[in-house]
Structure 1
Amino acid sequence: MQIRRKSFLALGAAGAATALLAACGGESSPDTAATEPAPASDGGGEADPSAAPARADADLVIWADEKKAASLQEPIAAWAQTQGITAAVQTISNDPQAAFVTANQAGNGPDVMLGAHDWIGNLVQNAAIVPVQLPSDAADKLAPIGMTAVQFEGQTYGVPYAVETLALFANNALTAAPEPTSIEELVAAGTEGGAENVLSLPVGEQGDAYHMQPLYSSGGGYLFGADASGNLDPKDLGVGKEGSIAAGEKIKALGEQGVLKTSISGDNAISLFTDGKAAYLVSGPWALADIAKSGLDVTMSAVPGFEGMEPAKPFAGVNAFYVASSGKNQGFAQQLLSDVASSPDIARAMFASNQLPPVSLDLQTELAADNPEMVRIAELAESTDPMPSIPAMSEIWAPLGQAQANIVGGADPSEVMTSAGEQIAGKIGA
């Protein structure tokens, strides 16, 4: 599965900014660059055996991508010493989800895996992870969105530690409405400000359903309904139904106004904003460093919805620790996850070298003064929905994104949404 977005949680932050300059507290910015575009997660299919290392000779073995593995080395070494065991953190550079599934099935994988929460459905389907037992006070220690994201079919399958979502960034020099309460207000203020582009939101020729989700959800669209138990139901597919068509009509109107453009994609959305060519930007924490470097006077707020319609709900993406089903030492793995849930110590140490919006409520409080934007992103995530983690979600991205791009380009919303729904339904058997 490929999500057309820049993702902090997929590859980690490359020196995230600690301030948004004048509009967000007036602090100076570090000299850092934004993370490169990357998929949030892979499809969990067959992995190249060379992508996975041989299991280290240690009591507890953890696998993670390069950024997270580097940030884990010192805190895990300290934790292992207190436990009287040895631990090793190993890096998975390519297709980490698929590499983990393959290695776990072969019995030579890790005890703990770090990854995005939307892996859970596929990992459970492949019997790669087991439920975890959290401390009784976990709900008081961890942000609700994090706890919700790691639930699947009534079980808790991981311990969350970082979260990301989309926000609205306003160039205060180009708009008199830095925190618009509706898309209509945003369009009016951005137009009046005379910006070359009212809104820099990635669409591209092939679409970007991730970045379009706030508008799609506000316009009435949904992806999957829920069954009687509250679990997402792939048989109840929202794409192609009335709500998605209504959302398509709103998206088409923005295309006709020139507010949404297929010429704006993940490759240029942030730079258009930081170059002063857009009044507003819809992006995530991966944009903070470039915005800070730009020297612009910027305000960050929630992405607004359409006037009189549903609230805009971007996706939340959560990173979590998982216990491998075929790990050699599940007892140590469960203890580590329990300790991560109970105390911010490991997440705090990881943040020092790999800044991600934290899920730990105590860590949010600690970081609020020096890292207000990171904490604000985490707070904004509480008003969003976790990205669906059911396996059927992998079939949504391309058809829905392409339908939305076609609508921005002038296509009939009813026709293309219906077609996209039929295509997705055929893939997932809905």
Structure 2
Amino acid sequence: MRKFARALAPAIAATFLLAGCGGGGGGNEATNTTPEETPSETATAEETGAPARADADLVIWTDALKIDAVKAIAEPFGEANGITVEVQAVSSDLQTNFVTANEASNGPDVVVGAHDWIGNLVQNGSIEPLQLSADDLSGYSPKAVQATTYDGQLYGVPYGIESLALYRNTEVAPNEPKTMDDAIKAGEAAVKKGDVESALNLPVGELGDAYHMEPLYTSMGGYLFGTSGDGEYNADDLGVGKPGSVKAAQKIGQLGEKGQKVLRRSISGDNSIALFTEGKAAFLVSGPWALGDVRDSGIKYAIQPVPGFKGMGPAEPFMGAQAFMVASNAKNAAFAQEFVNSGVNNEEAMTTMYEKASLPPALLSLQDSIAADDPDTALFAEAANKAAPMPAIPAMAAVWEPLGKAYSAIVGGADPAKTMKDTGKTIQEAINAS
């Protein structure tokens, strides 16, 4: 999740590969595997393409960025419980490889991954509910617990959270904006003075970027999926194409290349951060993954939650959570549950994950304790606490590509209302077909 914009396309592909939105056949070809593609229970690691399961009592899969952090809590757990533990890094396609290996019964006992995998993992029968309730995680960010809860059951213990925030170049924009309008006004003034080239670096690109556009979309009244009384997303209530989304599209069009030129397709996930760190932009919408580059650049900066537009609703970017989950075909399910429920679910383990994985912590007490020493990371935790969990429902797979393309087209000058309504129809047809 740390390089979300760049990793989005393969993540979407994996989502379509792993599961459609419905249970039966008749779906889109891209969302269904044929009988020949389905691994058998006796498939080898070579046949499935997944890494071979290590020979240990408790096997954990994670990505290469987090392996040292996970080892630091898993190995002491193994020693304390008299069991062997192996943490394996899966270099690419972790979600896809996990589903395949789990189905073939040669996967790990525990997997560490993003909360928005959960809907597909549950639909594929790949993970088990935890032997914990939401109340057992009352010390964590409520949004993180919400994110790891699916269909009323808790499937993950969250350790890290992240969301977008607004970076500000304080040399050209010294005052903290109260609204997005204030930020844009200050940025445009800096451009007019020749201090910067861009008022606001929000990634758009040629294919669009639905992730980074979400705070603007929601502030203007748009929503992707409605929610039920318990806060879970309802795939039957698609907001794209409805009046709020049209109003948001019109605002995005006004800020686009045929309007104020604040949003531009030339700004993408590949250059938005670099241009800000080079002092060429007054503001940047990005996440904690940009923090290292911003600090290293020496630029004078400040960070705040993304503000909404004046007189409109709050900006609600997506919140993402990283979590530990138990495999449904774990060879040692009891060890797996104990590790996730107890070995991970404590302040010492959460501190280790924060220090070694460099993500804002999900544990509230840890958020408080880091505020003095690392206010930037604490602010990102605060922003995530206020954000909306990224929908983990399988229907979300139908949203990313067409909505991103719609944003790019609207920024480029396409009719906002027609584009958004047509996009809503395209997404709904894809959901119905899956």
* 8 Å CA contact 1:115, 1:321 repeated in 2: yes
* 8 Å CA contact 1:323, 1:334 repeated in 2: yes
Matches within 5 A, 1:123-272: 123-134=121-132, 138-177=136-175, 179-193=176-190, 194=193, 195-227=196-228, 230-255=231-256, 256-272=259-275
* More displaced 10-residue stretch of structure 1: 322-331 or 181-190: 181-190
Deviation sequence 1:162-189 (CA, Å, 0-9, x none):
0110000000111133x21112111211
Secondary structure at 2:111 match in 1: strand
Amino acid aligned to 2:149? Q
* 8 Å CA contact 1:142, 1:341 repeated in 2: no
- 1:147 is displaced (CA, Å) by 0.7
- 1:76 is displaced (CA, Å) by 0.9
Secondary structure at 2:341 match in 1: helix
CA distance in 2, matches of 1:321, 1:200: 33
Secondary structure at 1:403 match in 2: helix
* 8 Å CA contact 2:360, 2:378 repeated in 1: yes
Match in the other structure for 1:29? none
CA distance in 2, matches of 1:163, 1:228: 24
Secondary structure at 1:67 match in 2: coil
* More displaced 10-residue stretch of structure 1: 419-428 or 49-58: 49-58
CA distance in 1, matches of 2:252, 2:177: 18
* 8 Å CA contact 1:51, 1:95 repeated in 2: no
Aligned in 2, Cα 1:406/1:9: closer, same or farther, shift over 3 Å?
A: closer
Q: Which one of the candidate residues 4, 8, 22 is aligned to 2:2?
A: 8
* 8 Å CA contact 2:48, 2:101 repeated in 1: no
CA distance in 1, matches of 2:100, 2:181: 49
Match in the other structure for 2:71? 73
**Structure 1 spans left out of the alignment, 5+ residues:** 1-6, 11-35
CA distance in 1, matches of 2:366, 2:376: 14
Q: Which one of the candidate residues 308, 311, 315 is aligned to 2:311?
A: 308
CA distance in 2, matches of 1:49, 1:207: 36
- 1:225 is displaced (CA, Å) by 1.2
Match in the other structure for 1:52? 50
The number of residues matched between the two structures is 398
CA distance in 2, matches of 1:342, 1:128: 21
- 1:144 is displaced (CA, Å) by 1.2
Match in the other structure for 1:13? none
Matches within 5 A, 1:302-341: 302-340=305-343
Report the TM-score, using the length of structure 2 for normalisation. 0.87
CA distance in 1, matches of 2:134, 2:417: 48
**Structure 2 spans left out of the alignment, 5+ residues:** 19-32, 38-45
Q: Which one of the candidate residues 287, 291, 312 is aligned to 1:288?
A: 291
CA distance in 2, matches of 1:229, 1:138: 17
- 1:155 is displaced (CA, Å) by 0.7
Match in the other structure for 2:112? 114
- 1:137 is displaced (CA, Å) by 5.9
* 8 Å CA contact 2:134, 2:154 repeated in 1: no
* 8 Å CA contact 2:77, 2:343 repeated in 1: no
- 1:382 is displaced (CA, Å) by 1.0
* 8 Å CA contact 1:176, 1:189 repeated in 2: no
Amino acid aligned to 2:329? S
Match in the other structure for 1:19? none
- 1:332 is displaced (CA, Å) by 1.0
Aligned in 2, Cα 1:342/1:96: closer, same or farther, shift over 3 Å?
A: closer
Percent identity at matched positions?
48
CA distance in 2, matches of 1:341, 1:100: 20
CA distance in 1, matches of 2:325, 2:332: 13
Report the TM-score, using the length of structure 1 for normalisation. 0.88
- 1:344 is displaced (CA, Å) by 2.0
RMSD across aligned positions (CA): 2.0
- 1:139 is displaced (CA, Å) by 3.3
Deviation sequence 1:372-427 (CA, Å, 0-9, x none):
21121111111110000000101101111111111111111111001111111111
* 8 Å CA contact 1:9, 1:356 repeated in 2: no
Aligned in 2, Cα 1:340/1:181: closer, same or farther, shift over 3 Å?
A: farther
Match in the other structure for 2:41? none
Amino acid aligned to 1:181? K
* 8 Å CA contact 2:147, 2:389 repeated in 1: yes
* More displaced 10-residue stretch of structure 1: 401-410 or 187-196: 187-196
* 8 Å CA contact 1:64, 1:113 repeated in 2: yes
Amino acid aligned to 1:370? D
* 8 Å CA contact 1:9, 1:319 repeated in 2: no
